[in-house]
Amino acid sequence: MRASHFPFPSHAMPTQLAALKQWVESVAGLTQPQAIHWCDGSDAENAKLIDLMLATGDLIKLNEKTHPNCYLHRSSPSDVARVEHLTFVCTSKEVDAGPNNHWMSPADAHAKMDALYAGCMRGRTMYVVPYCMGPIDSPLARCGVEITDSPYVVANMRIMTRMGAPALARIEREANFVRGLHSIGDLNPDRRFIMHFPEELAIQSFGSGYGGNALLGKKCHALRIASYQARNEGWLAEHMLIVGIENPKGETHYVAAAFPSACGKTNLAMLIPPEGYRRDGWKVWTVGDDICWMRPGSDGRLYAINPEAGYFGVAPGTSAKTNPNALAMLNKDAIFTNVGVTADNQPWWEGLPEGVPVKDWQGRDYDKANGPAAHPNSRFTVSAVNCPSYTAHAEDAQGVPLSAIVFGGRRESLVPLVFEARDWTHGVLVGAAMASETTAAATGAVGVVRRDSMAMKPFAGYNFGDYFNHWLSFDKPGAKLPKVFHVNWFRKGSDGKFLWPGFGDNLRVLEWMLKRVGGDAGAVETPIGHIPKADDLNTAGLDLPAAVLDQLLAVDRAGWQAEMQAIGEYFAGYGERTPAPLAAEQQRIAASLS
């Protein structure tokens, strides 16, 4: 980003909250900005920010006729993704961060970051961004303030959070907020760190302008810090979509689902029912595609909110075929990052059937020899209300009640299409043990199983052993917890082709789950859980031979013996922090398979 000055005069702090004033003053003293601007989230403020970035080249206006109010941002080629190896959880004791995190002592982390921040905002405007994660009046929502020198971050935080004056008012009422300090610095990869201080409810990020490293309300606050807050306060902060399934009777059941990357998370959140289901009156409502905060309600059920107000989605692969709802919401009011452009200045990425790129994500004339037109991790940022399947219940202050929690992974063999956990403890094991197979494109090896507990391996802000124990703690007298399921859309046959059609047809599996919730569907009890009988799944209109369906639902006892042994070894890696009930459940299942 070029040095620039926001076209508002620097003004006095619009807050009487002493803790906030003192923190902003101390950051200004350290970073030495040219000016300070407190963001109010208004349309006028956003318009001036956009004009500023257009003038500096940080944004490029896209085709106003086809994509009104849409802009392109190109980041540094060395700054295009999250940097897990430079992301630390800084707790007083290393064991509290756990082997699932990189750890640095708070003292060492603060010293390192203070040295980087010293004078880093000279010639720049320091933006103070108050924001709320979740509906502004929700008791489950939590607030934060991000200080940044990037107007691109401000514009994106306005889309992704409830940012501005209402958030500041709530912060002043509660006198409690997460402190996030960000500077793009000099974008030097050798001077790039993302530090989390759970015990201080603080985040510090330096040297990156990329979303996951710079939009501190997202993974940093909404998962790493929030998971720590949630443990202390009795709720859960999870890497899950939230989707509502409305049946022909007009009843809507809400499902939260956790999948590692490349497992169809956004596609499920915005699922379009098969034609026969649509004809019968089935509807799907999107509450959120990435993060879920949930807590027990007074009736014992778990209620969930989406703490985000927008989507920060991966562009490549998004098309009318894979996710028509996602594509439809990108025609207006969106910020694209690192995509290509066509001759008439429309955004373009691999997976779109129409259009020809003339410029790639770095602004060069498009040449196949230079690689794809859009970076594989190129993104779009857009308000959630743009989604055709958006539901106003996403703004319900109390959240939506969950009927089911789903875990899933990409497994070519062994794992059935769907199974149901027997009880909550078994369900926690299913989530803690979940895994996906890697692909050649990502790792150079195919079929390597990697554990990614609850899809939270990069995002849990504390020791996984303690995290598993926190999950178990929700099973108490009076609790009416969601049923827990596991799915695998990716089982393959001997010919290497997927056995299950996936996409909209996944609603057939969700239908069985919700019938199980209501006690209206059968199942076969197996050592790994309850599995539907072939005729329990609605396969009307599917060209799915009976033998293939039997293969999708088969349980390979010998294979599962090896799987349970591997799960036991994984749990052992967390030592004495592994909850005894979880270890006992693993041993019980292993014994039942022998």
Residues 359, 326: contact at Cβ < 8 Å? no
Of the residues 39, 70, 90, 263, only one is catalytic, namely 263
The token pair at 136 is: 């502004």
Does the annotation list 213 as a binding residue?
A: no
Of 150, 168, 165, residue with least CA distance to 205: 150
* Strands 193-197 and 202-206, sheet pairing: antiparallel
Residues 536, 512: contact at Cβ < 8 Å? yes
Does the annotation list 264 as a binding residue?
A: yes
Q: What are phi and psi of 204, to 5 degrees?
A: -135, 130
Rounded to whole angstroms, how far apart are CA atoms 417 and 505?
A: 12
Give the three-class secondary structure for 98: coil
Q: Enumerate residues 6+ apart whose C-beta is below 8 A from 14.
A: 38, 168
Does the annotation list 379 as a binding residue?
A: yes
Rounded to whole angstroms, how far apart are CA atoms 360 and 370?
A: 9
Specify which residues 296 forms β-bridges with: 302
DSSP state of 217: I
Rounded to whole angstroms, how far apart are CA atoms 149 and 121?
A: 7
Does the annotation list 377 as a binding residue?
A: yes
Does the annotation list 219 as a binding residue?
A: yes
Does the annotation list 506 as a binding residue?
A: yes
Does the annotation list 262 as a binding residue?
A: yes
Does the annotation list 505 as a binding residue?
A: yes
Rounded to whole angstroms, how far apart are CA atoms 479 and 462?
A: 25
Of 300, 328, 301, residue with least CA distance to 313: 328
Rounded to whole angstroms, how far apart are CA atoms 357 and 340?
A: 6
Of 312, 384, 306, 372, residue with least CA distance to 339: 372
Does the annotation list 410 as a binding residue?
A: yes
Q: What are phi and psi of 296, to 5 degrees?
A: -70, 135
* Strands 400-408 and 252-258, sheet pairing: parallel
Q: Is 263 annotated as catalytic? A: yes
Does the annotation list 221 as a binding residue?
A: no
Does the annotation list 63 as a binding residue?
A: no
Residues 540, 275: contact at Cβ < 8 Å? no
Does the annotation list 267 as a binding residue?
A: yes
Residues 296, 137: contact at Cβ < 8 Å? no
CA distances from 35 to 90, 148, 526 (A): 31, 12, 65
Give the three-class secondary structure for 210: coil
Specify which residues 310 forms β-bridges with: 383
Owner of token pair 């005069």: 9
Does the annotation list 516 as a binding residue?
A: no
Does the annotation list 488 as a binding residue?
A: no
The token pair at 490 is: 């990716």
Residues 150, 184: contact at Cβ < 8 Å? yes
CA distances from 54 to 1, 48, 101, 382, 555 (A): 12, 10, 39, 19, 58
Q: Would you give the distance in Å from CA 489 to the centre of its chain?
A: 20
Does the annotation list 518 as a binding residue?
A: no
Does the annotation list 290 as a binding residue?
A: yes
Does the annotation list 212 as a binding residue?
A: yes
Does the annotation list 503 as a binding residue?
A: yes
Task: Spell out the SS3 assignment of 106-118.
Answer: HHHHHHHHHHHHC
Does the annotation list 21 as a binding residue?
A: no
In terms of Cβ atoms closer than 10 Å to its own Cβ (0-12, 13-18, 19+), residue 493 is middle
Owner of token pair 């979740």: 134
Residues annotated within a binding site for Mn(2+): 219, 239, 290
Residues annotated within a binding site: 82, 210-212, 219, 239, 261-267, 290, 377-379, 410, 503-506
Looking at the annotation, which residues are catalytic? 263
Residues annotated within a binding site for GTP: 262-267, 379, 410, 503-506
Residues annotated within a binding site for substrate: 82, 210-212, 261, 377-379
